[in-house]
Chain A
Amino acid sequence: MSKLEVSMASLKSDIPQGTLDLLILTVVALGSVHGYGIAQRLQQISRDAFQVHQGTLYPALHRLEHRGYLAADWTLSNTGREAKFYRLTRKGRAQLERETANWRRLSEAIGLVLRFAEGGLP
Chain B
Amino acid sequence: MMSWMFRLLRGGRLDRELGAELRDHLERQVADYVHAGMSEREARRQALLAIGGVERVKEECRDARGTMWAEQIGRDLIYGARHLRRTPALSIAVITTLALTIGAGATLFTLLNAVTLRRLPVPDPDRLAVLSLTDQSGQRQRLFYYSTFEEFATHQKVFENVCAYAGGGIFALEARGVLADATVAAMTPECTALLGLRPITGRVLGPADASGLGEPARVVVLGHRFWRRAFNSDPNAVGEQLVVDGVPLTIVGVLPPDFPGLHVDTGSDFYIPLTLLVRLSGDPKRPIRFYNIVGRLRPGVTLEQARAVVIASWPALQASTLPPGLSAAQQDDARAQRVQVDSGARGFSTLREQYSRPLVGLVSLAAVLLLISCVNLSGLLLTRAVAREQQFAVSLALGASRFRLVRQLMIESLLLSIAGVLFAIPTAHLACGAVAALMWDNIVPLAMSLTPDVRVLGIVGSVGILAGIAVGVLPAIAGTRSNPHLTLLRGGTQTPSARRWSKTFLVAQVALSLTLLFAAGLFTTSLGTLRSLDSGFRDDGVIFTRAWQHPGPRRAYDEQSYYPTLVERLSALPGVQSVALSHYFPAYFKGAPPMHVISRTELTDRGEVEGFAEFISPRFFETVGARVVRGRDFTWADRAGAPAVVIINEALERRLFPGGDAIGRRIRLGTDPRRQALEIVGVTSDITVGDLRSPHAPVAFRPRLQEPQYMRVPIVTLRVGGDVEAVAPAVGPAIRSLGYEYIRDISTLNEQMDRSLIQERLLAGLSSVFAGVALLLAFIGVYSLLIHAVSRRTREVGLRMAIGASRTSVLRMITREAVYLTLAGIILGIPLALWVGRLTRALIFGVEPTDPRVLGIAVIIFMAIGAVAGWLPGRRASRIDPMTALRYE
Q: Which residues of A contact B (CB under 8 A)?
A: 34-36, 39-40, 53-55, 58-63, 66, 74, 79, 81-84
Contact = CB atoms under 8 A, between A and B. Distances in A.
Interface in B34-84: 50-53, 56-57, 60-61, 63-66
Q: Name the residue in B21, B27, B65 with the highest tally of chain A Cβ atoms < 10 Å from its Cβ.
A: B21
A62 B64 contact: yes
B20 interface: yes
Q: Name the residue in B25, B29, B63 with the highest tally of chain A Cβ atoms < 10 Å from its Cβ.
A: B25
B436 to A, nearest CB: 56
Interface in B452-478: none
Contacts of A79: 24, 27-28, 31
A59 B63 CA distance: 8
Nearest to A84: B21
B17 interface: yes
A60 B64 contact: yes
A63 B66 CA distance: 8
A55 B56 contact: yes
Given A35-B24, A66-B66, A79-B24, 9 more contacts: A35-B25, A36-B28, A54-B50, A54-B52, A55-B51, A58-B57, A58-B61, A59-B61, A62-B61
B437 interface: no
A40 B66 CA distance: 27
B22 interface: yes
Contacts of A83: 21, 24
Q: Name the residue in A58, A63, A81 with the highest tally of chain B Cβ atoms < 10 Å from its Cβ.
A: A58
Nearest to A54: B51
Contact of A35 (B21, B31, B53): B21
17 contacts: A34-B21, A35-B21, A36-B24, A36-B29, A39-B25, A40-B32, A54-B25, A54-B50, A54-B57, A55-B51, A58-B18, A58-B21, A58-B22, A66-B64, A82-B20, A82-B24, A84-B24
A79 B32 CA distance: 12
Interface of B: 17-18, 20-22, 24-25, 27-29, 31-32, 50-53, 56-57, 60-61, 63-66
A54 B215 CA distance: 96
Contacts of B18: 58, 62
B60 A81 contact: no
A55 B21 contact: no
Contacts of B27: 79, 81
Given A55-B57, A84-B17, A36 B64 contact: no
B61 A54 contact: no
B26 to A, nearest CB: 9
Contacts of A84: 17, 20-21, 24
Contacts of B21: 34-35, 58, 83-84
A56 B64 CA distance: 11
Nearest to A60: B64
A55 B53 CA distance: 8
A71 B681 CA distance: 110
B52 A55 contact: yes
Nearest to B59: A59
Contacts of A82: 20, 24
Contacts of A60: 64
A75 to B, nearest CB: 11
Contacts of A35: 21, 24-25
A29 to B, nearest CB: 20
Q: Name the residue in B24, B27, B52 with the highest tally of chain A Cβ atoms < 10 Å from its Cβ.
A: B24
Contacts of B25: 34-36, 39, 54, 58
Contact of B65 (A40, A53, A66): A66
